[in-house]
Amino acid sequence: MKRLFKTYLEKPELAGLILLVLLVVLFQVRSHGVFLNADNLRGILGILPEAGLVAIGVTILMISGEFDLSVGSVFALMPMTMAVLMVHGAPFQLALLAGLLVSAAIGFINGYVTIRFAIPSFITTLGMLFMARSLTVVVSGGFPPLLPVDLPNWLFTSFVGPGNMFRMSFLWFVAVAVLTSLMLSRTNFGNWIKATGGFMPAAAAMGIPTARVKIICFMLCSVLSGFAGMLQVLRLGSPLPSIGEGMELQAVASAVIGGASLLGGIGTVMGGIIGTTLIRVIDNGLVLSHVDANWFKFAIGFLTIFAVVANAWMRKRAKAIKMEG
Amino acid sequence: MNDAIISVRDLHKWYSGVHALKGVTLAFKRGEALGLVGDNGAGKSTLINILSGVHRADQGEIQVEGRPVSIATPRDAMDLGIETIYQYNSMVPTMSIARNLFIGREPTRFSVLGVGILDQKKMAEESIRAIANVDLHLRSPDALVGELSGGQRQGVAIARAMHFKSKVMILDEPTNHLSVKETNKVIGFVRGLKEQGVTGVFISHNMHHVFDCCDRIVAMARGEVVLDKRIEDTSIEEVHGVL
């Protein structure tokens, strides 16, 4: 019993999960039952995958001990690359491939520069935030290109499932979440990510290629952000060069609310998803409860601080429960 | 030099103009506990870093069990059976004991290009056995290393080296920052190495600790070996004298 209690207190995503349940109940009551009805849930689930995929990438990167501020810009650059290529006659598949390669390249540059010159990834990716955003506007020529009409929306944005509850993007999101979650908890590579972020000198001394591990995490984060940007563009039907602005900080907030540590080594994919869901729920719930929507950012900010404090407290409590014998 | 497990000949190392190792020749004998002492900057860390694959020698030869070898990475050293336990803990505090035991050498059920699914059952079973083998009493391999005391962590590190059948265990200042009781435990571990047929290299500032558990003492100063004697043929005073 004590052991079980301790195990759960040590779960980094616990604080976020409790908050999520409390808020869902609160909003359900305040909105007189509208919050959990099918139409509203469909709305939330329709846009959750976009922020969620970015948060998964950012969370994994944070566990490896690094940081990415450029995700919002990659979120815009990837679909813009695709749109420009398609305007020039490239088929969708080729454009998709090119977009993903551009995202991966940006992740590689972020990682390589950070490690090669031993500078904080905060700086590298802050620079990349501006550069990638600028590139997005430059390649678009200032006007969002027109997307072709024959896009495979059935594969990415169409509604599916019982009562058309989900968009296809949600299935992609679930698939990525399951795969990355398994990667982190069940594979040796996941072990290397946690070791690299947890205490790099020890990881390196045990023969883990820490530089390669980090660069792969940077690339994964960028590719997921680019893919998420494409989902949003397909949903909106137009590649606006301004999408994803401010997303990097929301993604960090998601990861942190979900229990990831800024210092690395601690966190879960599930935590990042819970954090994102929490932010989406607040965004939606405030409106449904007739609260001035400008309180949204206040709530996110407060929640971020609160979740970290709660997590630190729970971890301390867990540590205090001695299990030696 | 027949029973030497590692022997180095004429090892040199320069760090941006500083001649840190000046032609060190030394044989580590099988099953022996060797104490390596010397002041800061005497070259003992440099020597150890070369043997554990952190740095490469600029000149000289290393032989392991009579064969010339090249040690370019920590992994090379581990594959040759040389395990190093550093003064900073070679453990990741945010991970469990079981996970720490297998960092970089995780058993997988199948793998593609070196990445695969962890065999968690095997990890749990083997870590329980590994810990018990070094006489450490910990209830669960799932406990986080961050919750262990300094001595227990060194114990887990030693258990890890034992588990992977290392032939030479290099302990770099393992008794730093430990209480007296914990220090005694670590010294006990070093003594236990001999029974398991493992060669121990024990690096310490504390002469008493070295004399407590080693068979032979090598003192280094200014990048050279200045004394190399059996414990019974020397004294703490003599060693202090040459440093």
Domain ranges of chain A: 2-320
B74 is a domain residue: no
Chain segment A243-255, per-residue pLDDT in tens: 999 999 999 999 9
**From the candidates A3, A6, A199, which should be mutated to test the interface with B, based on the most B CB atoms within 10 A?**
A199
Contact flag B91-A325 (C-beta cutoff 8 Å): no
Q: What pTM was estimated for this model as a whole? A: 0.90
Q: Which long-range contacts (CB under 8 A, 24 or more apart) does A121-124 make?
A: A121/A66, A121/A67, A121/A68, A121/A218, A122/A67, A122/A69
User: What percentage of chain A has pLDDT greater than the value 70?
Assistant: 98
Residues of chain B with C-beta less than 8 angstroms from the C-beta of A265: 92, 94-95
**From the candidates A11, A191, A311, which should be mutated to test the interface with B, based on the most B CB atoms within 10 A?**
A191
Confidence class of residue A324 from pLDDT cuts 50, 70 and 90? very low
Residues of chain B with C-beta less than 8 angstroms from the C-beta of A3: 140
B221 is a domain residue: no
A325 pLDDT higher than 50? no
Contact flag A186-B117 (C-beta cutoff 8 Å): yes
Chain segment B31-77, per-residue pLDDT in tens: 899 999 988 888 888 999 999 998 999 999 999 998 999 999 989 99
B131 is a domain residue: yes
Total of domains in chain B = 1
What number does CATH give the domain A2-320?
1.10.3470
Residues of chain A with C-beta less than 8 angstroms from the C-beta of B49: none
Q: What is the mean pLDDT of residues B153-181?
A: 86
Those residues with Cβ within 8 angstroms of residue A19's Cβ, 6 or more apart along the chain or in another chain: A257, A278, A303, A306, A307
B108 is a domain residue: yes
Give the closest residue to A82 by CA, choosing from A224, A217, A238. Answer: A238
Q: Which tokens in the block code for residue A55?
A: 């948060």
How far does the CA of residue B162 sit from the closest CA of chain A (Å)?
A: 14
The most distant pair of C-alpha atoms in chain A lies apart, rounded to whole Å, by 70
B101 is a domain residue: yes
B112 is a domain residue: yes
Q: How many CB pairs under 8 A join A and B?
A: 91
What's the pLDDT at B11? 93
Contact flag A187-B93 (C-beta cutoff 8 Å): no
A8 pLDDT higher than 80? no
Chain segment B77-90, per-residue pLDDT in tens: 999 999 998 866 68
Range of the domain at B114: 93-152
Q: Which residue of B lies nearest to A10 if distances are taken between CA atoms? A: B144
> Looking at the partner chain, which of B88, B92, B103 has a beta carbon nearest the beta carbon of A265?
B92
Residues of chain B with C-beta less than 8 angstroms from the C-beta of A194: 92, 94-95, 99
Q: Which positions 175-204 of A are in contact with B (Cβ < 8 Å)? A: 186-192, 194-195, 198-199, 201-204
Confidence class of residue A81 from pLDDT cuts 50, 70 and 90? very high
Q: Which amino acid is at A133?
A: R
